[in-house]
Each structure stands twice: as C-alpha cells, then as structure tokens.
C-alpha cells in the first residue's frame, strides 16, 4: 500500500515529469507545467475558482497548450452554470476549428450543446448533439444519444426519444439513465412497439420487479426473458414450459439451452429435456456441438460424446466435455485415463485456460514434465489461478516505450488526461504495446479501472511484466482506506475484499449485471433488503455497497469456517447451492472439489478471485 500511495500522491509531479516530459525546456516551462498540474488537480477536486485562477495565470504563456487551457476555462464556467461565458469561449475555439487539434474538435460540439441547453436554446443544442454523433468518441456519442432522447422527450416526441435511446440500450442494456427514461416515456406512448415493451420489461427486471417484467416480456413475446422472470419468481415449471416451447420452435441459442437444462435438472425432468433437445438436433440446429454436448450431459450416451469429439474437436463444447470426462477420471485417481480424455485439449486448445488446468494437474502426478509445465504456464498463462498459485507473479523489467507523439506526452504530463485519452483514440501511429501502456496509465488516472486493468492484462500476456504494470492489473481503487476500515471491523482480510471487487466489478461503482446485481461488490437488491436497504439505488453508493458486501462475505466465511473455496462459491451462487454441492461432489481436497462445481460461472469465479487474492498479497503485503 505504501508503494502505491507514494506513487499516486507523494511523487506525482516528479514522476510525471521524469516519465513524460524531459526537463530540458528550462525553468519557465517546468513552472508552467507545475501550475497546470495544480490547476488540473484543483479542477478534479471540485475547487473550480482555484483552478480557474491558475488556468488564467498560465494562459498568456502556455502557447502550445492554450487551446486546451481555454477549453477547460470554458468547462469550469459551464460547471458553474455561467453558460453565456462558457459558450463565448467554446465558440471562439470552434470558429478556428481548422487549426484545432482533433481531440478538441471531437469534444467541443458536445460542450457547446450543453451550454446552449443551459441557456434554453434546445434547437441549437439538438443540432450540436447531432454533430457529436459524427465527430465524437464512443463515450461522447453515448452521452449525445441520451441528451437527444431527453430533448425529444421534453418536446413530447416520445417515439423519437425511444429511437435515440436504442443505440445506448443495444450496447449497454443495463444503462441506468437510459432505462429510467424508458420507464418515464413508456406511459406516454400509444400503441407501443414490441421493442419498447421488451425494453420496459428489461428495465423492471433490472430493478428486481420480476412480476412487472414478466407482464411486459409476455406482451413483447420475449420468451427467453419471460422464462428468466418466471425463474426469478420461483415458477420453474412454467419456465421449463416456456423454454421447451422456444426450443421446439427451433431456437437453439446457448443462453436458452443452458437455462433449459439447468431448470430441468432442478425439477428432475432430465428425460423430458433430453427428448426436447433430440428434436432440436433433428431440426438441423445451428450449433450442433452445443446440442450434442447437452444431449450427452443428460443421457451419457456414448454416441453423442463420440460424434462431438470427432466432428467438432475445436468447439468449446468438445473442450468442456473433454475436461469434465478427464476430471472424472483424475479425481478418482485414474490419471492415465484423464490424460487420454484431455488429449483433445492438448491437441486443439493450447490457448484456452483449460489447457492451463490440464498442465497444472498432470504435472502434479508426473504425467507432464514439471519444468515444461512451469515454462508454459508462466509464458502463456501468467494471470491464471493455476500459475499464480504455483509460482506467484511473473515479474521482469520490461516496460513498453511511451508514445512518440510529443503533444500527447505533454498533455499527460500536465494532467490533461481526458484530452490525452481522446487524442490517443484518434491516432493510429502508436505501436500496440505503447498504446496499451499509455491507455492503461491514463484510464487509471481517471479512475476508469476496467479499461486500465484490461490493457494491463494485454501487456502482461504479451510479456510486459514490470511491477507497475502488475499494479495496474490489480489496483487498489479509489476506496481502499474505507475497505480497510470495514474489513478490520468484520475481521476480513482487505486484500480478499479487493480480489472480490476486482472480479465482480473491476472497481466500477455504477455497474449493473444482467441479473440485476449492483455496484462494486455486485449486491442483489434482495441482499440489500436483508441488511435494511430497501432503495436499490443506495447500493450504487460505494460506501454502502462495500460495507454490506463485506458483511455478506463475512457471513459466508463464518458459515464455512474460513474455507475460501466454499465461501467464495456461496458469495457467487448462494449457500443453498454450496450446501448441496458439498453433499454431491466427492473430492480429495477443496481445490479439487471446486473443479466439480456444476455452474461454469461459479467454478471460474472461485479460481479468478483466488488468483487475484494471491496477486494482491504479493503486490501489497
């Protein structure tokens, strides 16, 4: 923690200058950069007057960066609701747009539109939001779509408002603002389309109101989501009937077939499910490998296993079958039989994490050379649980070169991170590793940890494994001090909490899963209610989410006497499932027990959290 804090706070100015802008331009340039760093820091902390004063001091001398400084002066005026002043500055920049850097050209129309909206000039704002859809980044386009929808709504054009929301919902179906506006406009639309009915159902589903969601899904003829809602309401027999009907009509999608088989198992209707899937196979299903896998799963008939492995050896379903059949043998001590089953993975799936599992277990019993397994795991699977557990972090001194775009480096060095991010996205002249490193750095500065982690993962998998890159792959986030405080109160290791947050949300407090889980620790609304939180929106508060999430995790740790495999499985799938698996899964130890978890999501979840936990302990303890 001390290293992270020192890096992030105590040495920020020095580190940024050393990394991004060699101090060869003299004391005056360094002074300007220091003032800009201070101004940008004040702006991000909400000290707008202080930032405005600093920007104004720098502006006469900051020639290269003057368009950016003017832009942020305008942005501060916009935030202070001095829309006329903001618009005056933005218009001055826009008038000379032929000379503007591309990143400013991309963002100015959106900010000008906001200023016009503030002045009540919605027609002009509408036109500028349309320009944003052409010039802006994906993030700005999403914001523009929402504002266009809001303006259309206020003008009483509710169908048009919904049309503007659709691009957001298609890319981010759980977007909170878009779903709230859907619910707001729906009662005003006469004769709503099936698409609107479906989106209303999704909005209610995310809110945990499954009864209302069910009604709208039925009206929209959205059968799969009708089945999901019935499952949530505990009406599994009806869900089974809905899923059966969809499959009989030829729908063989993976999500549907998985839910169908899962419900059939719970109801003891495996034979009935088998008959339905046989019909799908006869109808020339699009994904025959999927159907063959589940037909074998339900019946254990060798012809399905043989056909799947012979005809579709590279499919993920052949891989899954090979793994589980091999695991049955391995967990019974029949190691050579396991090797025979896993031969398909070794031949066809060497880039899949399942291959890492195979290496790990075969090398433990002498059926694969340990040195060779170690080399392959460290080289190709450095982030997998099996590698991290066996060998820890694979660290070297390799760091990609930073981008050679001098302006890009300068924007970063003085704290114009938003502009730097847009600029990096608009240019193609960055090497892959250089771009990934730069983007990971910049996203972390903006507390956008999901993409920062993603780029760090790409770098690590490509061999760039400097400790600072590992820290970006496993960051402390913005609420570490509060996590430590709450974890100590509940007697839980704060690094375990970080590992859970890392897997659940990648430190995004606003995320909502397809099932309706909310926030940093992905709490379901009914979990919040069990702790006295009846307003689901409160679960978006990082402090509330962390406090309740740690309590929830602690309950499972106590229930299972500190067994991390069991507690983490319960956090993901519920204690009822775990109690049943304890009875049904025969294993020699808890690690092997976790390999037998029938839910793929939970099986992977346990390993990913434990792998992250090992990384956090090595980096910060």
Query: Under a CB-based contact definition with an 8 Å cutoff, are residues 359 and 376 in contact?
Result: yes
Coil/strand/helix, residue 523 = strand
Closest by CA position to 595, among listed 380, 378, 375, 364: 364
Residue partners of 360: CB distance under 8 A and separation at least 6:
373, 377, 386, 390
Q: Is 504 a catalytic residue?
A: yes
How far apart are the C-alpha atoms of 296 and 160, rounded to whole Å?
Answer: 49
Catalytic-labelled residue, pool 504, 529, 555, 591: 504
HEC string for 177-224: HHHHHHHHHHHHCCCCCHHHHHHHHHHHHHCCCHHHHHHHHHHHCCHH
Q: Which two tokens stand for residue 256?
A: 């549907």
What does the alpha-carbon distance between residue 481 and residue 615 come to, in Å, rounded to a whole number? 19
Specify whether the CB–CB gap between 25 and 19 falls below 8 A.
no
Inter-axis angle of helices 575-584 and 564-573, to 10 degrees? Answer: 130
What residues contact 129, with CB distance under 8 A and at least 6 apart?
Answer: 109, 110, 113, 144, 147, 148, 151
CB atoms within 10 A of CB 218: 16
Closest CA to 473 of 448, 440, 497, 500: 440
Q: Which residue, chain included where needed, has tokens 């695991």?
A: 327
Residue 475 corresponds to which tokens in the numbers above?
């960051």
Tell me the C-alpha distance between 300 and 519, whole Å. 41
Cβ atoms of 113 and 132 closer than 8 Å: yes
Q: How large is the angle between the packed helices 600-620 and 494-504, nearest 10 degrees?
A: 130
Active site residues: 504
């Amino acid at each position: 923690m001390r290293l992270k804090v020192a890096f992030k706070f105590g040495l920020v100015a020095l580190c940024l200058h050393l990394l991004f802008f060699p101090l060869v331009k003299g004391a005056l340039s360094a002074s300007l950069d220091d003032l800009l760093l201070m101004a940008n820091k004040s702006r991000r902390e909400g000290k707008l007057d202080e930032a405005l004063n600093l920007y104004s001091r720098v502006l006469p001398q900051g020639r290269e960066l003057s368009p950016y400084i003017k832009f942020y002066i305008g942005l501060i005026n916009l935030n202070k609701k001095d829309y006329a002043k903001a618009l005056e500055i933005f218009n001055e920049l826009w008038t000379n747009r032929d000379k503007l850097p591309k990143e400013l050209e991309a963002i100015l129309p959106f900010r000008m539109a906001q200023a016009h909206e503030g002045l009540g000039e919605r027609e002009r704002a509408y036109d500028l939001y349309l320009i944003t859809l052409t010039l802006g980044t994906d993030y700005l386009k999403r914001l523009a779509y929402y504002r266009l929808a809001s303006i259309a709504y206020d003008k009483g054009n509710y169908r048009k408002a919904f049309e503007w929301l659709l691009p957001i919902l298609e890319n981010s179906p759980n977007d909170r603002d878009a779903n709230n506006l859907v619910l707001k406009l729906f009662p005003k639309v006469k004769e709503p389309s099936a698409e609107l009915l479906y989106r209303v159902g999704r909005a209610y589903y995310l809110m945990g109101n499954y009864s209302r969601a069910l009604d709208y899904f039925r009206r929209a003829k959205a059968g799969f989501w009708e089945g999901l809602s019935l499952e949530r309401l505990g009406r599994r027999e009806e869900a089974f009937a809905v899923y059966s009907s969809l499959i009989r009509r030829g729908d063989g999608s993976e999500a549907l077939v998985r839910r169908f088989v899962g419900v059939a198992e719970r109801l003891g209707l495996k034979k009935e499910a088998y008959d339905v899937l046989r019909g799908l196979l006869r109808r020339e299903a699009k994904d025959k490998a999927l159907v063959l896998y589940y037909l074998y799963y339900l019946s254990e008939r060798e012809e399905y296993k043989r056909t799947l492995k012979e005809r579709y050896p590279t499919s993920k379903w052949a891989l899954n079958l090979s793994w589980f059949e091999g695991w049955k043998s391995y967990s019974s001590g029949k190691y050579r039989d396991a090797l025979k089953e896993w031969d398909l993975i070794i031949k066809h799936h060497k880039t899949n994490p399942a291959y890492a599992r195979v290496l790990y277990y075969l090398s433990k019993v002498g059926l694969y050379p340990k040195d060779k397994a170690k080399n392959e795991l460290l080289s190709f699977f450095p982030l997998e649980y099996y590698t991290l557990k066996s060998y820890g972090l694979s660290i070297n001194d390799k760091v990609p070169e930073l981008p050679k775009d001098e302006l890009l480096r300068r924007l970063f060095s003085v704290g114009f991170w938003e502009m730097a991010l847009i600029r990096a996205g608009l240019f193609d002249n960055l090497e892959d590793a250089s771009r990934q490193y730069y983007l990971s750095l910049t996203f972390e500065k903006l507390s956008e940890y999901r993409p920062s982690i993603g780029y760090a993962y790409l770098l690590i998998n490509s061999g760039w494994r400097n400790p600072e890159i590992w820290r970006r792959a496993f960051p402390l986030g913005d609420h570490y001090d509060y996590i430590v405080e709450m974890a100590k109160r509940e007697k839980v290791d704060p690094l375990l909490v970080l590992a859970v947050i890392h897997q659940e949300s990648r430190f995004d407090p606003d995320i909502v899963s397809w099932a309706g889980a909310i926030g940093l620790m992905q709490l379901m609304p009914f979990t919040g209610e069990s702790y006295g939180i009846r307003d689901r929106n409160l679960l978006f508060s990082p402090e509330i989410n962390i406090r309740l999430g740690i309590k929830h995790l602690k309950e499972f740790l106590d229930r299972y006497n500190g067994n991390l495999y069991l507690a983490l499985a319960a956090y993901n799938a519920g204690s009822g499932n775990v109690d049943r698996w304890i009875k049904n899964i025969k294993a020699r130890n808890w690690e092997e027990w976790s390999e037998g978890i029938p839910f793929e999501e939970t099986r992977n979840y346990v390993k990913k959290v434990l792998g992250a936990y090992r990384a956090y302990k090595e980096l910060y303890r």
